[in-house]
Structure 1
């Protein structure tokens, strides 16, 4: 079983890495680490100008996954239409939960953060940390929507914003 798992991802595939979002596998290379020969996925996160090397044997266990299905993207966008659910916990506690959701790499959880932290022009100001979390979640969501639907990020952002503003109306 584990042998089959290794070849699940191929060069040029888009993948989602939990703590970094959407990246593209540039290559699969062998590298010697502490005397062991390891096969590594070389993943490029172009927007962040970052390259990550992930051992192929551990990719799934780390939480790396393929892009969501178009169906899941639609469900995530539908989540944005829902009413914001804000717990009455202290901000530090909520912020921690939002961060965990963003770093889970789970598209539905990320969409929930966007929904819960989205502000319309007529609503109260966001604190700096709220804005940071909102933008991180929005960026992750937008990048995956773009990759799944084969559109550029600007188009994906417009699509997400349209859903968010329609909710407000």
Structure 2
């Protein structure tokens, strides 16, 4: 029997992955690979990337989380509107910090990445890695906001643009 999961998911549930955004649990079942003892896997589908992942049940807590609530989504937009931080002038430092913020899976952190990079974009000061991080943080935020607020991706993008100024 596998260890008890901190994240409790069932078929049809939505999950958030820090690289692929919001996905759906397609199934949870026992599988055996290469003659090893069978263990439980979750099959997850991420529509934006048209990607299916099979994750061992033992890795779910480390890999995915439940999407934020609608209350937290509204709080995120309010905090994004009020946030006055500035990106580092050193591009390598900025790139490392942005990647770490995105990898942590906390939407409040990658919302800061998004807003800081939008500021740089308005100044025509984005480097290639900045563009990649801006695209990634935008996609993750749009997925999360659309799911949590029950909006279309275009509506979520509009809310995000409005909050970032």
Q: What TM-score comes out, normalization by structure 2 length?
A: 0.87
1:51 aligns with 2:52: yes
- C-alpha spacing 1:7/1:84, structure 2 compared with 1 (3 Å): closer
2:86 matches 1:85: yes
Contact 2:31 2:39 (C-alpha < 8 Å) held by counterparts: yes
Rounded Cα–Cα distance in structure 1 between residues aligned with 2:20 and 2:96: 17
Gaps of 5+ in 1: none
Cα distance in 2 for residues equivalent to 1:164 and 1:129:
20
8 Å contact from structure 1 (residues 24, 44) kept in 2: yes
Provide Cα deviations, 1:134-155, integer angstroms capped at 9, x if missing partner.
Answer: 1110110110000111111111
2: CA distance, partners of 1:83 / 1:110:
14
Equivalent residue pairs, number: 162
Report the RMSD for the aligned CA atoms in angstroms. 2.1
1:116 aligns with 2:95: no
Give a deviation string over 1:4-39, Cα, whole Å, max 9, x none. 527710111110122322111111122103412111
Paired with 2:6 and 2:93, the residues of 1 have a C-alpha distance of 37
Between the aligned partners of 1:85 and 1:41, the Cα distance in structure 2 is: 39
Structure 2 residue matching 1:41: 3-state secondary structure:
strand
Q: Deviations over 1:32-89 (max 9, x none)?
A: 03412111110001110110011112211x241101122221222123212232234x
- State how far apart, in whole Å, the 1-side matches of 2:120 and 2:7 are: 44
- 1:24 is the counterpart of 2:30: no
Q: Per-residue deviation at 1:119?
A: 3.0
Q: Where does residue 129 of structure 2 map in the other structure?
A: 129
State the Cα distance separating 1:113 from its structure 2 match: 0.6
Secondary structure, aligned partner of 1:5: coil
CA contact 2:16–2:66 (8 Å) conserved in 1: yes
2:106 aligns with: 106
The 10-residue stretch of structure 1 (4-13 or 103-112) with the greater mean CA deviation from structure 2: 4-13
**What is the alpha-carbon distance in structure 1 between the residues aligned to residue 29 and residue 154 of structure 2?**
33
